[in-house]
Structure 1
Amino acid sequence: MGKNNNRKKNARKKKKGTSSPLPEDDAQTAGELNTVSVEATENEVEVATEADAERKALKIEENVEANGDQKENKQSKGRFSWITSPIGSALSKLGGSDPLPPPLEGSLYLFTPSQQDLAKRLCELPGTTNQRHLFKNWSSDPEYDDKKKAFMSKLEMVDQSYPDGGLIGYLNNAVGLLEKSRNGENPLEGWEPSVPKGESFAVGTDAFIDTEKLGLEEVGKCGFVLVAGGLGERLGYGDIKIGLPTELATGTTYIQFYIETILAFQSRYAEPGKRLPLCIMTSGDTNDKTVALLGKNSNLGMDKDQITIVQQGQGVPALSDNDAHIALDEEDPYDIQMKPHGHGDIHALLHSHGVAKSWLEQGMKWTVFFQDTNGLAFHTLALSLGVSSKLGLIMNSITCPRKAKQAIGAIVKLKKGDMERTINVEYNQLDPLLRATGYDNGDVNDETGFSPFPGNINQLVFNLESYVQVLERTKGVMPEFVNPKYKDAEKRVFKKPTRLECMMQDFPIVLEGSDEVERVGFTSLASELCFSPVKNATTDGVALQANGTHPGVAATGEADQSNAMCIILRSIGCDVQSGDTMIANGIEFRAGPDCVAKPSFAVCSNELKKKFPYPSRVKISGRSSLVLSGDGLVIESLNLDGALVIECEEGASGVIRNLSVKNDGWVKVLEGMLYKSEDEVIQMRGYSMRKIDTEKIVFKKDGSIEGNYQITTTSVCGVPVVGDLCQPASEEASDSNTFCAGGCAIM
């Protein structure tokens, strides 16, 4: 340990330009180097460090080239290789008895002092865990010098970015975890499971409405974290996933939908002048594309300084065996295999970039984590904030009811002696854990028809003050795990390289003391209202659906988004009929109705109740398409059998009353029936949206109304009202107790 500390001190000195003397044993080597330098340049220059040697050799080349002597130029290159060899020999004797691999020894002059130190430390790791294999197949041909430099730069990048001891720390952690995995050690051994603290809801109930209403008092104090590290290649999409449209009715992309929702919360619930911040975690693959997408679209309505982008590192080295040997690229000995470290890195990034602390100083009270392609993410936001506020939670996991043994992680409270934690337990670990601790039947459904342990969907809400305190203590470093796939029964050979991973939902593991660990819980709502990720290729989705698992493809993501809105409308009393099912690309889903409420219209059930004050007067057929936008819009009575788009400009107001629309509407056309699209968005769905006939009404800020529907309009208390002249007013509509949005009696 002392040797490593001294080495680090020396490396830091070298970075500052301080010379590091060679050992006495190498005095002759230094003298030889000085002699060579004098002969080559006719200037006596002392070479005290390997960096000086490299600079000196480069100067030799420059001087020779300046004289135009091609023959001497070749000789100087020879000296360049020869000069560094003695330095390499000298360095190889520092801190270790075994010489460095000859290919590395002959290449040290190419690297910075810190890179040389890192290479040496990798070779000096004890026993079979040393990483000498990384360098043994290097060529001495100068043609590969740039590749060697890139190789060491990559290792140095990992060393600087891994928060728990650099690259050596990563390898040490890996050796320990791999040994535990090989020995079959159970990390849950001795822990007693029980149902954690939390609340479950059914949409539309009094408990749901009241808790959501409580949460609406908090949504104006939230900072939002989008964990968006993914490309869409797996889906058959050549760009970043947040650029995918959530649905074809409006073409709204995921990132646009998320930002519009945050801005809607901001405009209606934040204090005047307070902006709700957004942080996006990107990867090396997605960072530039994310910046370009936002820039091209003027940040989709947000101020530029309202958005912070933090980029995850390039990953961690893949490991080829139980000794944690770094896996080389199979086709290139000058590169290593890298794998993602996991979304648990987001906590360290929020700490190191000062994001969470800055938000706290800006007056934010909560931090909300959500993922890149779940169009249902915000249906539970106000509800979960209400639960967090009532129960005083530091961390609140959004969950959904899960069937016993369903292949989804569960939120479980664990106790072991005086220790306690509420964490995600993978489904294949939960059943044996329960059986080993007195639950004879393991994971079984209770009287509700579901397991008492709710399913984790990786959407999290944190109390920001407590979250920042934990980040200050832990630097945001999350516990890691390893999950190698073995070829043999002895667990000595991997099927493919593995790596250490960390997950953002493991945050409760780093909590300390009862005041922290007891303040972790959950909010549960049916998955059809909160979770429909678009993450799988269509072929994979077909196989999943055949096994009774949600396919998680683009077609179901769109269908579920519309269906969730239909469910909420039904819960408040609207008559929304179910459409037919269809099959596209082998995926079965419900084709309609397509109901889209833009965030500017409403963002939660409490708002929808106000937007549809007389829900029994609203009927939507199963083949219909309805798009609503604008804060000033109210739907009092509507009979829709077709396609209708209603917009209300910012600052305008409008009421829809006794409106009946029947037209040919919009139809989903299977791909290939009429033509084959080259659009990836259409290909991944297996259908396109053919907009045959659309009725559109626009309430303008100046009080006028635009539209292509033959209607008459009236104004009640200054609020434009649209209705169908051919349809008599209903008995309910003529009720003297009916009020418009402004509270004026309707005549």
Structure 2
Amino acid sequence: MTIKKLEFLQQVRNLDHNYPLRRYVDTARRLLHDDARTDAADMVIEPPYTVHLDPLHDPPIRTSGGADGDVVDIPWDAVEVEGLRVAAASVFVLVAGGLGERLLGDYVGPPITKLGILTDTVSGMSFLHMYCRTLVVFQNAIHTDTGTRVKIPLYIMTSDDTHALINNLLRSNSYYGLEADQVVCIRQQGVPALSTKDCAIALDPENPYKILTKPHGHGDVHRLLYRLGCFNLWRDKSYVVFFQDTNSLTMKFIVPVLGYGALHRKRVLFAATPRKPGEAIGALCRTHSPSTQVYHTVNIEYSEICKYITQETVTGDQYSMLPGNMNVFCIDVPTYVRLLEQTHGIIAEFINPKYTDATNTTFKKPTRVECMMQDFSKYLPESCGTHDIVACLLPPWYSYNPVKNSHRDALVKQAAGLTTDSAISAEFAYYRWFRLALSFQTPTVHSHNLCPEPTVSVAGILVPHGPRIVLDPFLSPTLTHVANAIGSRLRCTTLQDSVFIYGRFVTVQSLCVSGFLYVCVDDSLHVCIHNFTETTPPAQCTVLDSSHLTSLSCTSFHDAAIRGSFVPAICPEGFPMYCITVQALTEDEVRGNSATNPFVLDDATKLRFLQYSMCCTPI
């Protein structure tokens, strides 16, 4: 028997062990049959119980009841304080099996995982770096407040494509400040692709002795967690937080979502965003069958909504009454553990083939059976009342900036009046969050009076135009913290300025930027930026040149360099730049360095640490 045949038999054994092949094919046939006979009349769709979390609205927290919503009498800062406490006592589960083929488009280079893509081109931080560092911030917040040291468990579901890449990122960057034993990568195996409506198993077109496999969907995460048995270690935890790989605002909005949920003892919290009919985002809704009157709060994929609703009801601003599902949700630990024990993590599956024509007889390409992690809500017990399961509706600027479409696809979506969900739109939405955080005050006007920002075209994508500001997660755990700790003390003189400040113990007293400023402080040092002025005038609009932004937003480079004398390669020729890395002080300065006696970085002392200026040229 040849080596190829032996490898083929071994693959068959592995696939059968992961998901018995006979059962898999039978399931696929049943799902195709059920899909063909689905009767939309069997399902009643209505909006879910919704709480509006909008810090710029007065009041900031409202439920969906009443003409204008019922006010929830909790100050925004109290929700954030509670959210930080609960985040430190929660479990985080990140699904990251994709390589981002749809996102990267024409990218040519070595394989990269979506977690290695940059959140932005000012900081140069990858999504994985930012997520891990934010968890360190949550741990530090509870330690500062109570003296309790905690380690937040982080489970990352990988795939055969991403497992080695993600593990390499973690190990080569010392887990970005987390400890190795609190990060667990669990690998998801693929399932056979199916080439015909009779569910014939497809072979790899380049190798007849290899079965073509595809991901089974992120719903596998529940089964993998059950197999791992880790849920037995969670008895003292508050919530399990499930999230996906490329939404940089997730770690910003998850704090108030958890805070609201804990204060009101909610069992399931879906993070939601306003959604327009036709957008490629699932809809959260309550469903029930007239015959059973059993209610469920579930997600319906955007491609399926038309089966149940011919025309969606919209609000005055043209948003649907069914909020958009961001695939970020939290389940309180007791409820989740009970469900895992009852279901063994196995949830409902579906099949979604693309056909060549309206006869629905021939697949356009091989399909597979899959499942979605948010469908776990279908198994919640009837004891979960309507108000136990909540859609937390956040404004778009605060919640939804996913990186999922290629630049080419983003242009098509923009022309259709839809959100682009591209690397460029996500990057500039991220900057806008920091601008709004710096000017955040207790709201006295409705959020629709939020001052609009000018727009600018970056490689054809229209984005809000303003200073590109990114602050270390230690400086920006919540909106209130950014406003109180920094606020107007950081000032940019033009719309083109860029600022990144990185360091665990950095405070800002007075900082004026005109150009590009990159400050990186060693995590062991206390530094106060005071009377610091960057006076070099910026070049006109050069930073918005598309050749820099489109390429670098979709490229991963080594994050460890951030800790050294690294300068993000995003400054075009001639753009003024200061890069200041504070890594070593004199013995006397270190001896007295503390929160009450920080090293002052000002116009005089900055010259000791200035590494680069114009055109990224060393000086």
| Equivalent residue number for residue 689 of structure 1 | 571
- In structure 2, distance between residues paired with 1:716 and 1:505: 43
Q: Secondary structure at the match of 1:386?
A: helix
| Equivalent residue number for residue 172 of structure 1 | 26
Please point out which of 335, 348, 363 is paired with 1:466: 335
| Equivalent residue number for residue 25 of structure 1 | none
Question: Is the Cα–Cα contact under 8 Å of residues 242 and 330 in structure 2 kept in the other structure?
Answer: yes
Question: Is the Cα–Cα contact under 8 Å of residues 394 and 467 in structure 1 kept in the other structure?
Answer: no
Q: For structure 1, which runs of at least 5 residues remain unmatched after alignment?
A: 1-141, 436-441, 707-714, 726-747
2:130 paired with 1:231: no
| Equivalent residue number for residue 98 of structure 1 | none
- In structure 2, distance between residues paired with 1:202 and 1:704: 47
2:445 paired with 1:593: no
| Equivalent residue number for residue 159 of structure 1 | 16
- In structure 1, distance between residues paired with 2:529 and 2:45: 53
| Equivalent residue number for residue 418 of structure 1 | 293
Structure 1 position 433, deviation (Å): 2.7
Aligned AA (1:599): P
| Equivalent residue number for residue 297 of structure 1 | 173
| Equivalent residue number for residue 325 of structure 1 | 200
2:345 paired with 1:476: yes
Aligned AA (1:173): T
Please point out which of 300, 317, 321 is paired with 1:452: 321
- In structure 1, distance between residues paired with 2:307 and 2:423: 35
TM-score by length of 2: 0.80
Please point out which of 342, 352, 358 is paired with 2:217: 342
- In structure 2, distance between residues paired with 1:380 and 1:332: 46
- In structure 2, distance between residues paired with 1:317 and 1:716: 57
Please point out which of 515, 537, 557 is paired with 2:406: 537
Aligned AA (1:220): A
**CA 1:488–1:268 in structure 2 vs 1: closer, same or farther (change >3 Å)?**
closer
- In structure 2, distance between residues paired with 1:232 and 1:626: 28
| Equivalent residue number for residue 517 of structure 2 | 644
Q: Secondary structure at the match of 1:351?
A: helix
| Equivalent residue number for residue 146 of structure 1 | 3
Structure 1 position 241, deviation (Å): 1.8
**CA 1:210–1:473 in structure 2 vs 1: closer, same or farther (change >3 Å)?**
same
| Equivalent residue number for residue 55 of structure 2 | 203
Q: Secondary structure at the match of 1:380?
A: helix
2:114 paired with 1:241: yes
| Equivalent residue number for residue 215 of structure 1 | 83
TM-score by length of 1: 0.67
Structure 1 position 476, deviation (Å): 0.6
Structure 1 position 343, deviation (Å): 0.6
State which drifts further: 627-636 or 614-623.
Answer: 614-623
**CA 1:449–1:537 in structure 2 vs 1: closer, same or farther (change >3 Å)?**
closer
2:270 paired with 1:397: yes
Aligned AA (1:605): L
State which drifts further: 238-247 or 512-521.
Answer: 512-521
> Pairwise mapping of residues 486-635 of structure 1 onto structure 2 (< 5 A)?
486-515=355-384, 519-572=388-441, 581-584=456-459, 586-590=460-464, 592-612=466-486, 615=488, 618=491, 621-635=494-508
Greater fraction helix: 1
Aligned AA (2:85): E
**CA 1:431–1:211 in structure 2 vs 1: closer, same or farther (change >3 Å)?**
farther
- In structure 1, distance between residues paired with 2:300 and 2:317: 21
- In structure 2, distance between residues paired with 1:632 and 1:329: 53
2:38 paired with 1:185: yes
- In structure 2, distance between residues paired with 1:445 and 1:526: 16
Structure 1 position 262, deviation (Å): 0.6
- In structure 2, distance between residues paired with 1:576 and 1:518: 34
Q: Deviations over 1:634-683 (max 9, x none)?
A: 3344443323344555465454455543323585263669xx99x9559x
- In structure 2, distance between residues paired with 1:603 and 1:522: 22
Structure 1 position 288, deviation (Å): 1.4
Question: Is the Cα–Cα contact under 8 Å of residues 399 and 522 in structure 1 kept in the other structure?
Answer: yes
Structure 1 position 480, deviation (Å): 0.6
Structure 1 position 352, deviation (Å): 0.6
- In structure 2, distance between residues paired with 1:576 and 1:644: 26
Higher-RCO chain (CA-CA 8 Å, sequence separation at least 6): 2
2:302 paired with 1:427: yes
Aligned AA (1:476): G
Question: Is the Cα–Cα contact under 8 Å of residues 534 and 552 in structure 1 kept in the other structure?
Answer: yes
Q: Deviations over 1:278-317 (max 9, x none)?
A: 111110011112222222222222211111010001x111
Task: State the aligned residue count.
Answer: 553
Structure 1 position 405, deviation (Å): 4.2
2:164 paired with 1:307: no
**CA 1:717–1:338 in structure 2 vs 1: closer, same or farther (change >3 Å)?**
closer
- In structure 1, distance between residues paired with 2:316 and 2:84: 32
- In structure 2, distance between residues paired with 1:320 and 1:405: 29
**CA 1:194–1:576 in structure 2 vs 1: closer, same or farther (change >3 Å)?**
closer
Q: Secondary structure at the match of 2:286?
A: strand
- In structure 2, distance between residues paired with 1:534 and 1:276: 26
Larger radius of gyration: 1
Aligned AA (1:264): V
| Equivalent residue number for residue 381 of structure 1 | 254
Aligned AA (1:603): P
**CA 1:386–1:294 in structure 2 vs 1: closer, same or farther (change >3 Å)?**
same
Structure 1 position 579, deviation (Å): 7.1
- In structure 2, distance between residues paired with 1:158 and 1:595: 48
Please point out which of 227, 232, 255 is paired with 1:352: 227
Aligned AA (2:571): M
Aligned AA (1:154): Q
Q: Secondary structure at the match of 2:194?
A: coil
Q: Secondary structure at the match of 1:498?
A: coil
Aligned AA (1:470): L
Aligned AA (1:200): H
**CA 1:702–1:603 in structure 2 vs 1: closer, same or farther (change >3 Å)?**
farther
Q: Secondary structure at the match of 2:23?
A: helix
Question: Is the Cα–Cα contact under 8 Å of residues 507 and 527 in structure 2 kept in the other structure?
Answer: yes
- In structure 2, distance between residues paired with 1:329 and 1:640: 55
- In structure 2, distance between residues paired with 1:623 and 1:349: 46
- In structure 2, distance between residues paired with 1:379 and 1:284: 30
- In structure 2, distance between residues paired with 1:504 and 1:485: 22
> Pairwise mapping of residues 20-31 of structure 1 onto structure 2 (< 5 A)?
none
- In structure 1, distance between residues paired with 2:555 and 2:596: 49
Structure 1 position 337, deviation (Å): 2.1
Q: Secondary structure at the match of 1:571?
A: coil
Structure 1 position 331, deviation (Å): 4.9
Q: For structure 2, which runs of at least 5 residues remain unmatched after alignment?
A: 62-75, 444-449, 558-568, 605-619
Q: Deviations over 1:673-732 (max 9, x none)?
A: 9xx99x9559xxxx94335232748597879889xxxxxxxx99745666679xxxxxxx
**CA 1:246–1:282 in structure 2 vs 1: closer, same or farther (change >3 Å)?**
same
